Amino acid sequence: MVYILGLAGGAFGGNRGVRPVPPEKGIFPLDHFHQCDLEKKDYLGCLKSAGHQSEKCRLFSKKYLECRMAKNLMAKQDLAELGFREERDLEISRKENVSEN
């Protein structure tokens, strides 16, 4: 019976021979060995105590991503590309936004 399904293009009529292409960002390997559990728990705990306002937990988020990069659970890249700028740059940006309004 499995053989018959194979000839029909799959159990749900999917395209045969077409390989799925993963997205560039947004999907990365799961932490099967719990290498970054401490950082994850810290981040989730912060979110819970901050009423799920992620801006208040940026430091924990940054540490979690740094752990994932260090353990090769995601591609290494500049944290500025992920929205983490130096605190000095963030303060300048905040001041510019205030003066524009």
Average pLDDT over residues 17-32: 70
Chain segment 1-22, per-residue pLDDT in tens? 444 444 445 555 556 667 766 5
Domain region containing 78? 31-84
pTM higher than 0.75 = no
The domain total for the chain is 1
- What pLDDT score was predicted for residue 1? 45
Please list, in sequence order, all residues whose beta carbon lies within 8 angstroms of the beta carbon of residue 63, skipping any fewer than 6 positions away. Answer: 39, 42, 43
- The answer to whether residue 5 is domain-embedded is no
- The answer to whether residue 93 is domain-embedded is no
* In the predicted structure, residue 42 carries a pLDDT above the cut 50: yes
Count of helices and strands (H, E) across the chain? 4, 0
Chain segment 43-83, per-residue pLDDT in tens? 999 999 999 999 999 999 999 999 999 999 988 999 999 88
Q: Are 38 and 68 in contact (CB under 8 A)?
A: no
- The answer to whether residue 75 is domain-embedded is yes
Query: Can you tell me the distance from the alpha carbon of 86 to that of 84, in angstroms, rounded to the nearest whole number?
Result: 7
* In the predicted structure, residue 29 carries a pLDDT above the cut 50: yes
Query: Can you tell me the distance from the alpha carbon of 85 to that of 57, in angstroms, rounded to the nearest whole number?
Result: 14
Burial of 15 (0-12, 13-18, 19+ CB in 10 A): exposed
Average pLDDT over residues 24-37: 80
